Structure 1
Amino acid sequence: MKMLKLSAICAAVVLLSTSAAYVDRQHLNKRKPMNFDSGNGFAVLELFTSEGCSSCPPAEALLERIQKEAGDKPVYILAYHVDYWNRLGWKDVFSSPEFSKRQYWYNSKFTSEVYTPQLIVNGKTEFVGSDEGAIRKNLTSALNEKATATLALQGLQKTNSITVHYKLTGQPLQGQLVIALVQKHGVSQVKAGENEGRILQHAQIVRQFSTFPLATDGQGSQTIALPAGFDSENWEMIGFVQNTGTGEISAAGKTTVSSNL
């Protein structure tokens, strides 16, 4: 039964990736500047992607461009490389079963298919990650919303770990604290699969993902293991507070990781 289920999932991924490729061509060729007129809201953009998916590189390139255009606006981009494409000919070096699990968790709430590239905004809305029109609409809406809480983060690197200090102010002071360590840039030469022969440029690669219960007063400290290859100059920390029931994200922030070594 498990093998049949996986085969069905792969078939759905291939089918939806084909339609995503059409969206890529329609929207990426426009190259229109994004509208970042906003209130005091924020936008957490979670992209589920894979080096084994031919429709994913355009989506990643689009989000990298959006991040540059956003400047200092509170736009937080995380690219999760899922592992279910690995069985189809190429193992994505950045992939993790944890990221696939997170995508399945989201899709149980959206009751949608699991596919790549899938983009989720503030845990509330999902659509094809290369659909620039949908990104424009949802990003503008998120930034114009009134933020009810703010999250401040501080990361301190130690010998084998990182200590995360956080403070949530406003309402609600509840939810789950999510901490992602993000590699800002990466390059891979793909030798098999749908992207065989291509050199892929990646941005905002989630390399480690941790969740913690939020302290009742909204502030505290947590310790996470130092991942292999961590580089404080080329990585950053993005955190957010998420309702585990609905998936909705109520506050977000980011910081660099300082070192006392």
Structure 2
Amino acid sequence: MKNIVPAFIMLFLLMGNTIFAQSNSDKKGFALLELYTSEGCSSCPPADELSGRIQNELKDKNVYVLAYHVDYWDKQGWKDIFSNADYTKRQYDYAKFMGKDPIYTPQVIINGKIDYVGSQETSLRNGIKSALVKPASASLSLETNQIDNNLSVNYSVEGTSKNSRLFIAVVQKEAKSNIKRGENANRVLTHYQIVRQLQSVDLNKVKKGTATVRLPKNFNTQYFEIIGFVQDMNSGAVLGVKRA
């Protein structure tokens, strides 16, 4: 009998440490890189390539890359097949959050707080290091289920601010484009982590539920992934992120 109580206490402490570690892992630091780019911009290919390298090198270190192809280059001789006016609007929203004007490409914004020229590798990597040491303020869980051309996303969020939204991005991991006109004429460009669909969910009333996301026609689980993140819409700060 003398050994039962100490053994029970030790088991309790071990279980408690495990739970504590799991809780802490949900709140560990992260870096969400949002790249604003375009096939029509001659300064963008180096930034695209750098984002691809960072994604490959750091994908297991809580680093996430989203590449938004804006549409304001589309009238300069070449229309980007991945461009979307909604992504241009998102970039303008960041300009308001950060008090920076005008917008530009290639621009990378880390955790919704600070921006970098997307091709400046040293500055960008230092920004990632700084972001990773700051714990997340929100935790997010995602479960997905594909039904025909739609994706059902079950989500649960903890630790949000008063005006938060959940963003669900459908991301194409890689694509190549043969550019025939514009500043990148006669080049074959490789793109990484292309946002093909971005849907938001208001978290002010319900922090747990199911969202339905429309999938691109060429969607498959091998070449695409789903990334969700929680954002404070008063400041633009990203509070937490998760890959499904």
TM-score of the superposition, structure 2-length normalised? 0.85
Please name the residue that 1:128 is paired with: 117
Query: 1:109 corresponds to which letter in structure 2?
Result: F
2: CA distance, partners of 1:131 / 1:41: 22
Distance 1:170 1:127 in 2: 28
Aligned to 1:43, which of 26, 31, 34? 31
Match of 1:104 in 2: 92
The one of 156, 174, 181 equivalent to 1:167 is: 156
Deviation of 1:68 after TM superposition, in Å, equals 1.5
* 1:35 aligned partner: none
Q: Following the alignment from structure 2 to structure 1, what is the Cα–Cα distance between the partners of residues 206 and 29? A: 22
Aligned twin of 1:82: 70
Deviation at 1:170, TM superposition (A): 3.8
Contact 1:43 1:74 survives alignment (8 Å): yes
Q: Does the alignment pair 1:63 with 2:48?
A: no
Q: Which runs of 5+ in 1 are unaligned?
A: 1-38, 256-261
Letter in 1 for 2:116: F
Match in the other structure for 2:106: 117
- Specify every segment of 5 or more residues in structure 2 that has no aligned partner in the other structure, as ranges: 1-26
Write the distance in 1 (CA, Å) between the matches of 2:229 and 2:105.
23
Deviation at 1:160?
2.9
What one-letter code is carried by the residue in structure 2 that aligns with 1:41?
Answer: G
**Structure 1 counterpart of 2:146, from 138, 142, 157:** 157
Structure 1 residues 173 and 106: alpha-carbon distance in aligned structure 2, compared to 1, 3 A threshold: closer
Deviations 1:143-168 (A, max 9, x none): 01122322111111102311111112
How do 1:107-256 residues align onto structure 2 when only pairs under 5 Å count? Answer: 107-110=95-98, 111-170=100-159, 172=161, 175-214=164-203, 216=205, 218-255=207-244
User: Matched residue of 1:252: which SS?
Assistant: strand
Distance 1:141 1:222 in 2: 32
Counterpart AA for 1:189: N
Greater C-alpha radius of gyration? 2
Q: What do residues 176-202 of structure 1 show as CA deviations (whole Å, max 9, x unaligned)? A: 010110000100000000000000011
C-alpha distance in 2, partners of 1:71/1:178?
19
2:121 & 2:144 partners in 1: Cα distance? 33
State the identity as a percent. Answer: 47
Asked if the contact 1:174–1:218 (Cα under 8 Å) also holds between the matched residues in 2, the reply is no
Matches within 5 A, 1:3-22: none
Contact 2:171 2:196 in 1 (8 A): yes
Match of 1:53 among 41, 45, 64: 41
Give the drift of 1:216. 4.0
Measured against aligned partners, the alpha-carbon deviations of 1:76-110 in whole angstroms (never above 9, x if no partner) come to 10000001101000011011111111111111222
CA contact (8 A) 1:240 1:249 kept: yes
Q: Does the C-alpha gap of structure 1 residues 215 and 164 become closer, same or farther in structure 2, counting only changes over 3 Å?
A: farther
Which has the higher mean CA deviation after the structures are superposed, 44-53 or 63-72?
Answer: 63-72
Alpha carbons 2:228, 2:241 under 8 Å: kept: yes
The count of residues paired between Structure 1 and Structure 2 equals 217
1:248 and 1:109 mapped to 2: Cα distance?
9
Q: Is the 8 A contact 2:149 2:217 kept in 1?
A: no
